Amino acid sequence: MADTIADHIHDINSGNDDVGNLVFKEDGSVAYVPSGESIPVGSTAVVTDLSKPGYAAEGGVPSSFPSLEDMYAAGGAFERSLLRGKSVLVIGIGSVGSSVVDALVREGLGRLAIMDMDRVELHNLSRLYVAGVPDIGRLKVDVVEEYVHRRNPYAEVVKYPFDVREHRDVLADEMRKADLVICATDGNESRYVVNTLAVEMGKTVVYPRAETRAEGLNIFLQRPGGACYNCFIGQGGHIEEEITNEASARANGTIPSYTSPEDAGVMVQIGLPCDIAPMVNMTVRLALVELTRGMEGTGIETTAAELAPFNLFIWVNNRDRKYAKFPPFSEPGNGPRILRWFGCLVPPKKYCCICGEEEPFNG
């Protein structure tokens, strides 16, 4: 039979018992008695609030909270501390953005700014793995902040539950502070806003994007002096967006305002978690390469060299619809294939209206 609270209260009050366990007191607080030590009648040793993250010391019981130095020390919470002094801005913390945040925080990222106006909905749960059923209805920025602090209580998290298009001054301020920007929104318009500021400020931005049902994934990397997002897509260029959330898709115009709820429901088509996973992985790799640029002995140099010639990465999950004639995985050779990353180089456009020269008047 399981121990009852009364059993433990008896232990702690009987005096000089070797308890070596958590002791649950009547008022709901928890006393910890270090293994092998005796305690006098009526005293408590260390009182731990179990609603806060604990720290498993020798013996697997909470003894003290890890210090910041403990977290980054050898044998601490992180394998490496390359990102401890780095700051990343993530715009859009849906399935891709939140998973990228998780991976970077587990790499020891020191500062994070997150921007997203959406709340967790039931249909998000399969791909938003930082969230669970109790989080339905909560702002995604709150859920992600809480998750990050469970991983690293010392990580600085700045959160903005808003649409970046309506707060360009705040966006510009956070972009200035960021070593890297990851734009994982589900609307093209917000990416243009980010692109324009990034060109002005000389910032590096990673733009991961999934198409309808995540049939195809692509990641565009914008670096100072290289092609900008506008060079890649073209001004007002139509691209097929994956629509994951009806409310935000209506707000950003991906679902036109005249669309009926029934038709909008059909437009919300999301891919499977395994279809999104390759994009999370590659986005994190690109982020690590960018954030450690100029550092020595990172262990990331060879990855950086592999990816250096490219600024566009394409992955196709399914040979459906527009990818029906895409070469199969089994086909030999070096070209693009289903279920493999394919790197391309998008050159800057000479007359790009964002990053290029003004087009000469020829009328």
Q: With CB under 5 A, what is the number of residues at the site for Zn ion?
A: 6
User: Which residue is nearest to Zn ion, using beta carbons?
Assistant: 352
- Name the strand (E) or helix (H) holding 112: strand 111-115
Contact 349, 356 (CB under 8 A): yes
231 binds Zn ion (CB under 5 A): yes
Give the binding range for Zn ion (CB under 5 A) out of 105-113, 250-258, 265-273, 353-361: 353-361
Which residue lies nearer to Zn ion by CB, 91 or 198? 198
194 interacts with Zn ion by CB under 5 A: no
Minimum CB–partner distance for residue 239 and Zn ion (Å): 16
- φ/ψ of 321, rounded to 5, equals 45, -120
**Is residue 355 at the binding interface for Zn ion, with CB under 5 A as the rule?**
yes
Shortest Å, Cβ 178 to Zn ion = 20
Torsion angle in degrees (nearest 10) through CA of 318, 321, 325, 328: 10
Q: Look at strands 180-183 and 87-91 and give their pairing.
A: parallel
Are the beta carbons of 117 and 91 closer than 8 angstroms? no
- Site stretch for Zn ion (CB under 5 A), options 277-285, 301-309, 337-345, 350-358: 350-358
- The stretch among 104-112, 150-158, 179-187, 223-231 that binds Zn ion (CB under 5 A) is 223-231
Residue among 87 and 222 whose Cβ is closer to Zn ion = 222
- Interactions with Zn ion, residue window 265-324 (CB under 5 A): none
Residue 308 vs residues 19, 209, 231, 313, 344: alpha-carbon distances, Å: 59, 20, 19, 11, 11
Segment near Zn ion (CB under 5 A); pick from 13-21, 221-229, 301-309, 320-328: 221-229
With respect to Zn ion, which residue has the nearer C-beta, 222 or 244? Answer: 222
Residue 314, Cβ density class (10 Å: 0-12 exposed, 13-18 middle, ≥19 buried): middle
Does residue 198 interact with Zn ion by CB under 5 A? no
In terms of Cβ atoms closer than 10 Å to its own Cβ (0-12, 13-18, 19+), residue 221 is: buried
In angstroms, give the least distance from the CB of 254 to Zn ion. Answer: 23
CB of 175 to Zn ion, least distance (A): 17
**H-helix or E-strand spanning residue 194:** helix 188-201
For residue 304, give both structure tokens: 């950086």
CB of 207 to Zn ion, least distance (A): 13
**Which helix (H) or strand (E) segment is 205 a member of?**
strand 205-210
Q: Rounded to the nearest whole angstrom, what is the least distance from the CB of residue 226 to Zn ion in the complex? A: 9
By C-beta, is 90 or 228 nearer to Zn ion?
Answer: 228
- Name the one residue in this structure whose structure tokens are 């195809």: 216
Span from 105-113, 211-219, 225-233, 243-251 in contact with Zn ion (CB under 5 A): 225-233
The angle that helices 95-106 and 140-151 make with each other, rounded to 10 degrees, is 20
Q: Candidates 228, 270, 289, 307: give the one binding Zn ion (CB under 5 A).
A: 228
Q: Which amino acid is at 161?
A: P
**Residue 352 in contact with Zn ion, rule: CB under 5 A:** yes
DSSP 154-192: T-EEEEE-S-GGG-HHHHHHHHHH-SEEEE--S-HHHHH
Shorter beta-carbon distance to Zn ion: residue 230 or 311: 230
Q: How far is the CB of 313 from Zn ion (least distance, A)?
A: 18
Q: How far is the CB of 227 from Zn ion (least distance, A)?
A: 6
Q: Name which position in 204, 230, 292, 317 contacts Zn ion (CB under 5 A).
A: 230
Query: What's the min distance (Å) between Cβ of 223 and Zn ion?
Result: 12
Applying CB under 5 A, the residues found at the interface with Zn ion are 228, 230-231, 352, 354-355
